[in-house]
Structures are given as structure tokens and as C-alpha cells.
Amino acid sequence: MTETPDEKDPAERKMRFLFAVRSRGVTDARVLNAMERIDRGAFVKGLFAERAYEDMPLPIACGQTISQPSVVGLMTQALNISPRDKVLEVGTGSGYQAAILSQLARRVYTVDRHRRLVREATELFRALGLTNITALAADGSFGLPEQAPFDRILVTAAAEDPPGPLLAQLKIGGIMVVPVGQTDAVQNLIKVTRLEQGYDYEELRPVRFVPLVEGIGAD
């Protein structure tokens, strides 16, 4: 794609970015405001930085990916976060999704199995003044028992089933959004609501995520 002068203008670029996200179904004003405030360009490094404002997933360190912005928006919208909520994200990656969540929730905990990603995201959160996010190196399939229960849980890696410990760490009335399915096939984004008794499951849309992997990574 050749670059037009317009695409170099940050305001124009941001407008196109938000237009793309909105046209894919992100209509919640609070979510759109959060996506306007958080600059995705800060979360993409190196070769791919110039593509940060396109609606596509991009490679990040440790062989992982930063999700497609419209998918970030749709997942955030499905969580229906209120300002008093304590949120857990499994799969920090670049930190972009956690930064969006931080604009809507009281407190965000985000865990990743790669220490390097946790370290780099923590530095970014500090530089951007996002003081209500804590990033930790952990196997998120076990959740974060020391901070449980959570009002909202977002899993940004695909599991074969919603992990039991995460279901258990959801408050009654709480919502979890999780991509479910085999990693080399189409996965489904699922919204789980914890009821007084049991859980309600709703299929949202087909998606494609990197797999949820057990254990802590070597880096």
C-alpha cells in the first residue's frame, strides 16, 4: 500500500483507525473513547510499527501477537465493564488490551507466561501513567487466586475449554470472555456469565488466537 500524505497526519490516522473499529461493530462510546485515548503505536515495535493503525493483528516479541484492534474493541464491549470493576486479563502480550481495560475498570491485573512481555508491558504502563494495571508473570490458566474473585475476566489466548480455575474465580454476576477451540481450527469467542447457580454460555463470533500454553515460558 502506498502512503498518502493524509496517513502521516496523526489526527487523520486516528480517525481512520476508529472508523475501521466502529465499522466492525464496536459501538459502545466508552470503549471507543478508550481506544481513542490509548495509542496502539506505543505497543508495536520495530518493523511493524508503521502498521499499528491498521485493523490487523501484528507480531510482537516471544512469537506472540497483538490482537486485531476491532477484536480488542469487541471483546472489551462484550465485557460490559463498570468503573468499580476488578478485571483479570490472561495474556498480557504487548499490554495494549490491558491499557484499554485500564480506562474502563478500577483495577486491572494482567498475567503472561513470558517474563519478557510482562517486563516490557510494565515499563510501558509506567511511561504512559497507567497506574491501575499490575502485570505479573504467571500461568494464567490457574487465574490469579491471590486477587480473586474478579468482576470480569478476559482471556486473550485460545483454550480448548474455559479453564475451571478461571470459572471459579469469577464473581456471581461476573462475565468472562474467552476464545475457545483447537488452535489450528476456527475458534469461537465465548461470553460466560456466572449465575447464582451455574453459568450461562453465549457464542459471540469466530476468532483466531494464539494458544493458551501451560507453564511459565523460558523467557
Question: What amino acid positions are annotated as catalytic residues?
Answer: 67
Site for ligand SAH contains 111 (CB under 6 A): yes
Nearer to ligand SAH, 94 or 169 (CB): 94
- What whole-number distance in Å separates Cα of residue 212 and Cα of residue 197? 27
First to last CA, the chain: 35
Site for ligand SAH contains 152 (CB under 6 A): no
- What whole-number distance in Å separates Cα of residue 94 and Cα of residue 16? 22
SS3 assignment, position 130: coil
User: Which 8-state DSSP code applies to residue 89?
Assistant: E
Site for ligand SAH contains 144 (CB under 6 A): no
Site for ligand SAH contains 166 (CB under 6 A): no
Span interacting with ligand SAH, options 15-23, 109-117, 179-187, 193-201, rule CB under 6 A: 109-117
Site for ligand SAH contains 18 (CB under 6 A): no
Of 106, 115, 45, nearest in space to 81 by CA: 106
Site for ligand SAH contains 65 (CB under 6 A): yes
Chain position carrying cell 486473550: 156
Determine the size of the site formed for ligand SAH (CB under 6 A): 24
- What whole-number distance in Å separates Cα of residue 62 and Cα of residue 114? 7
The nearest distance, CB 31 to ligand SAH, in angstroms, is 14
The nearest distance, CB 9 to ligand SAH, in angstroms, is 25
Q: Which of residues 67-86 bind ligand SAH (CB under 6 A)?
A: 67
Strand order in the sheet with 187-194: 133-137, 107-112, 86-90, 150-155, 170-180, 187-194, 199-207
Binding site for ligand SAH (CB under 6 A): 64-67, 90-91, 93-94, 96-97, 111-114, 117, 139-141, 156-157, 210, 212-214
